[in-house]
Structure 1
């Protein structure tokens, strides 16, 4: 088995490329099912945010899996791979594990140390787990990544300074206008990002904030928290001539403001400048709006350098999290190494139980005068002897699973204890179970593997 991560993010692809690879929430279940049906993929999780789209997979071979995932992307997004291959990265085994830990803890984010990605990774994992596209490996890995990220944020000061994308958008507005107390700000979108934006605006003195959402009730709920003005999308277009700053962060599939609407609003503004900041992916604001005179349009990629001063402190704290990641990666790899010996240990336990039971039956036949109490005592004592005899071999094979010649050690273990029959019987049972659940296999492949994962062989 191998673990791979294939994706693109804000470092490798500009927003006009990233927005082509977004998933509507309702489409993710079908995407996961389609990915699971892709050749060689045994488990999978899709992490899709405004700054990244990543495909994590447990595969039975890694040589062609990058090709298979690119083929899936080509088909799902209806784009020739030539348009996106150069923007992709692929990590395997140790690098893939490390990458997931870095992503979940916020070290790979545009705004280093942000916590929103932790919730996004957790949600992506829980969705995949609910759809049974994860198994033994990812159930362990993603739970460990989420737990480590929570610990990283509680044990370090990486989140002490505000440097979210919402914060960066507000900082850009401050650089342009200086103060917000005499400016009218319109927020498009009342979701989590919109709420963070409103919070930062309110903290920076904004006294006239218009909150716009497709669902008026949500706009009203958010506006009420910050003494804002709720507004429907239709009303927002009418209010646009009176607005100085627009910050947009909706989950719309298409543009919610186009060039014509902004041009009409500008004709009523009498040459007053309008600053528009689009932090949504896919973008909310038509890029051609930038061509309108006195309109200054920024997108999410323009925010990357806005909060450099606050990031320095976060980088110092990030170094502490890097140490945690090294430790966590070792723990996972050690657990991963032992997966290969589980069938061997189970086979040894099965064989010892069979031998013990045969011996007890023989004893009962040869000494029929033994009472129930005597047989119970003998059974308990002999079972204890068997368990003690197995204790050291089991401990040693676990240790040897982490050594360079792990495969040879496990082969020798099988031969020394003559476990071939038990392993063959176990494999047949697993195959029979798989054959009775073909539909389930397509969304949840085999969760145990009889050999040590390749990357775990030191």
Structure 2
């Protein structure tokens, strides 16, 4: 069984591409149904956030598994595979595990150390288990990644000064508007990201908060927590006439603030500045609105350019975090290496025994009546030949099991010797005890 990863993130694809791959809600249920229907995939976990969409999977055949993931992503985003490859990464098994450990630790985020990603990794794993899509290998992998993410945060200073995309959005608003005192903000969406943004805004002097959400009751509840005001979703355009800042983060799969419902109101401001920050993927705000005088529109990718006061300090702890990750990777890979190699070695031995017994029987039949001593000599010779031929392949497979290419050597051995290994053989080894490894 091999761990595969196919994905794209903020480093490989711009937001206008990433939003096509956003998988959430009812779409997540359908996506898992599609993945489970692929004969070449054993299990899968989808990690879809504003910065990335990644599909982790297990497969018995590496190439067929990768092809199945490419087909799935291409079909989901309605993008031909030739274009998809421009944005996609498909690391080998070793690097796929390393990548997830770095993601869970906050090292692969747009803003290093951002706290939300660990919760998103947990949620992705839970969703996969609820969908019946995960398996023993992926369960062990994600449990270990969560453990590693916690350990990095506990043993280093990577999040000593918590900073997130929401914080970056607020910093951008302050750069444009200066002092935030007496400024008003209109927040669309009543989720965790919106709540984080409001808290950071209020800690920086902003007093007037307006919240809108498709579920008006959720908007009211959040507004009460901040002494703010809730408005119905269809009132959003009207509120743009007075707002100084708009931060939008809904789960909508289409533009919420569009030319047809917002242009007239924004033009009526007669050039008075309004900062519109879209931290949703898919995007909430129509990019065409940025052409209106006085409108400063930024999407999530543009937040990466915001200077973070604690960024240099977080850079200094990367080395410590990477050491923790590599140590934990070695432990996990030792286990995974045995998962790849032990069934192959067992199958190789069994195949050697079958060939030996068949050839002994054939030789004895052709030679006619033999004495017991002669039969023993033939059996001993056959046994010696088989053992000598298989000795170095088996020794080398054991040594290579925990290397970066261990899974590939196991796969090559399977193909070279035409070995057939049932899933039950792999499942015997699919137990990784977190408590015993850390």
TM-score (norm 2): 0.78
1:58-457 paired onto structure 2 within 5 Å: 58-339=58-339, 340-341=341-342, 402-404=398-400, 430=424, 447-448=427-428
Could you report, residue by residue, the CA deviation over 1:31-65 in whole angstroms, capped at 9, with x for unpaired residues?
12311322421221111111100011112122343
Partner of 1:33: 33
Which moves more between the two structures, 51-60 or 303-312? 303-312
Note if contact 2:187-2:211 (Cα within 8 Å) is conserved in structure 1: yes
Tell me by how many angstroms 1:146 deviates.
0.5
Q: Is the 8 A contact 2:70 2:81 kept in 1?
A: yes
Confirm or deny: 8 A CA contact 1:241 1:269 kept in the other structure.
Answer: yes
Rounded to whole Å, the distance in 1 between the matches of 2:105 and 2:334 is 21
1:16 aligns with 16
Displaced runs of 4+ in structure 1, greater than 3 A? 340-345, 398-402, 404-407, 446-450
Q: Distance in 1 between matches of 2:31 and 2:236?
A: 35
Structure 2 gaps, min length 5: 347-393, 407-419, 431-438
1:416 aligns with none
User: Any unmatched runs of 5+ in structure 1?
Assistant: 346-397, 408-423, 432-445, 451-458
TM-score (norm 1): 0.75
Contact 2:270/2:293, CA 8 A, preserved across alignment: no
Q: Is the alpha carbon distance of 1:169 and 1:128 closer, same or farther for their aligned partners in structure 2, counting shifts above 3 Å?
A: same
Counterpart-to-counterpart distance in 2, 1:254 and 1:238: 20
CA distance in 2, matches of 1:258, 1:315: 39
**Closer/same/farther in 2, CA of residues 25 and 447 from structure 1, 3 Å limit:** farther
Distance 1:343 1:129 in 2: 28
Residues 346-386 of structure 1: CA deviation (Å, up to 9, x unaligned): xxxxxxxxxxxxxxxxxxxxxxxxxxxxxxxxxxxxxxxxx
Classify the secondary structure of the residue corresponding to 2:230.
Answer: strand
Answer yes or no: is the 8 Å Cα contact 2:271–2:295 preserved in 1: no
| 8 A Cα contact 1:252 1:284, kept in partner | yes
Deviations 1:295-323 (A, max 9, x none): 11110011002134311111222221111
> How much has 1:400 moved relative to structure 2?
9.1
Q: SS in structure 1 opposite 2:187?
A: strand
Residue 47 of structure 1 corresponds to 47
Hey, what's the Cα distance between the residues in 1 that align with 2:57 and 2:428? Answer: 15
Kept in 2: contact 1:259–1:292 (CA 8 A): no
Distance in 1 between the 2:146 and 2:189 partners?
A: 28
- The separation in 2 between residues aligned to 1:328 and 1:90, in whole angstroms, is 22
- Structure-2 change in CA distance of 1:343 and 1:73 (3 Å): closer
What SS does the corresponding residue of 1:260 show, helix, strand or coil?
helix
The alignment's C-alpha RMSD in Å is 2.9
Q: Secondary structure at the match of 1:256?
A: coil
> Do the aligned partners of residues 330 and 258 (structure 1) sit closer, same or farther apart at CA in structure 2, a change above 3 Å counting?
same
- Please report how far the alpha carbon of residue 344 of structure 1 lies from its aligned counterpart in structure 2 after TM superposition: 8.9
Conserved? CA contact 1:163–1:307, under 8 Å:
no
1:266 Cα deviation (Å)?
Answer: 2.4
Per-residue deviation, 1:13: 0.5
